Structure 1
Amino acid sequence: MITACGPVGEWFWEPAPLAAPSDDGALWALGLLSGVAGVMASCGLVTREGTGSVVLADRGDMGAPLFARRGVPPGAGLVDAVGRADAVGLLPGRLLRLSMALAGEWREAGVVRRAERLFTLRVEVWGEGAVLVGLSAYADAWLAVDLRGRPQPETGAENAPRLAAALARICGVTGSPVDPGDPTRYADPTAEGFADQGEAGAEHDDAWGMFEVPARWRGLMALLPGGPGGRDYEATTELPVRYARVRCGERVLGFLWASADGAAGYEPRSAARDAAFGAGAVWLARLRPARLRGLGAPEALDGLPGASADGGPGGGPDGSVVEDVAWGAASPDALEELSGRS
């Protein structure tokens, strides 16, 4: 199974409008969110692990929220954030966005496997009463062809029925029919999950390699101070690479790599999302002084474990550290795939 940073497919529902959203509308939205998450858990799609966010803003100025809490674990913390949003007030002209990034489960040859992020679930409530429920899937476990265009009919057949069952049951919870989102570069969502890719799957382009990988690199460069500009090692090579995992606690954020011909780079884990990109920008920036001193890429990589921004001991300002164990991969392409699968 491969995961992407952006949705593989999306589905939407429009429950009946609220008569008085200003009266505990955020708490009502949390109840709806929890109900839909419960359906997905009962279908074996998600666990109770994840992070939530609560954002309340004037629709004319969504960039400056009236209230915002992000990265909130499920439970009392999320309930408290929702209560504070209700205290601010869901008035006409305002929009509440309540969302959860959910860890989940998929099956392969009868074995249940867990993934850090399989779905994002969100509920939006307008101050005038309109309600929208959205579900986004980030993995290919439900498809007969994986994100790199390779057939996986057994995996798709093993997982797709649970997604179809959940979509149908969410219709009951929301009291509205499902509206599949637009086709993505990976797949075509339907009311039952995804359209059958049929026998053409093996001939599909490698959309993940064509679009996901370049987009991730552009995202990293956008976070680097000054952007790219001759201070970085070459980013491509045909040779095998050595790599070290970048961690924050027990969570792997990405993989720093270097090759014997002087290339070096970083692959963010799709499942780690923004944290993976933030850590990548920190450690790529720390390769630059070594590059400017004329140090080879493998030697620069060897100098990063345990280093801090000032060259002393410790991790990055985001709490990330580079492991002192080096691994090998046949190519950057193999490491790119690892970043989507791990």
Structure 2
Amino acid sequence: MTSMMRCTLRGLAALSLLAGALVTVPAHAGCDARPRPGDDLQQALDALPADGAAKTVCLAAGEYRLHGLVAIRRDGVTLRGAGPRTVLRMQDGVAQPLLVVGEPAEEVPSRAIRDVTIEQMRLIGAPAPQEFMPEHPYLSNSGVVVRRGERVTLRRLELDACRSACILTERDTRDVTIEDSRVIGAVWDGVSFNRTAGVKMIGNEVRGNVAAGITAEHLEDSEIRDNTIAANGSHGIYLSDSLRNRFEGNRFERNRHAGVFLTCAVRFRDPGPVLCWDNSMSQANVFEDNRFERNQYGYDVGADRAANCALPQWQPNLWRGNRSDAPNRDPQPAQLGRCTRAA
């Protein structure tokens, strides 16, 4: 074989690998259950054997009408659609989330649910007067709720019209991957991380949500990279009491207020002014090579005497290589410190 032929074959192999990374996995590949539109999805999940082995539930193209939440309570489950032609739609007026990873009937989950993947489908919420489920008022009516999950992957999803957030992680969830998904039209935040660590959120579009594109209340050691966060009603990212996260290569565009809002964990909101929990200001985060266009501010800061950037042991957020057509705002630096440092 000539050297030119070897180079050609290597090039074709590389192209094949690249193309393979973008191709939707067929819904019938390695399926252990194949519920059809009209079937009971909860029944299909609950029928999986409790033997600890990984199982895949494949959904055909078509619309699955949900009359209540569907819970994944078992480790090692993949729920796979056939792409955006697989639609999970909540019945109008039902005040419940669509999918819950974890136990919805426990306010504090008694165990972690591990190694779950939800991929290749569209999820559509329903108008409802309540943000929280009346039967379980600790459970928000989001699109996907991950409750004390570990090693959870959300991939190639389209989420729309969520009554609360479209994706919510909570209750000490760890090691979540969110990739190649589109989150639009949430009545609250697009994506919400609450007491979560080890997120990898890569290559997503988060657009047109009523509040923030992404909100984080105690997010640690995570990577938010190469996402488009645009046209959200408050901030691109609302970052509260969050530590050691990296934000790189993202595009923040036309968010109503700041691209990034750095703040504390709120102790009291009403009545009177917002007050922070002690020492809860977001710190030690890195913002690098992001692009900010047509936001009111590149970054903005909300601090007070209890939680600010002048306290002993506080670690600055690093701001480097970012491009912005709007000013940054770090109010009262003499009293509250500067919350970012150029590096």
Task: Please give the TM-score of this superposition, normalised by the length of structure 2.
Answer: 0.23
Greater strand proportion: 2
- Compare relative contact order (CA 8 Å, sep 6+) and give the higher one, 1 or 2: 1
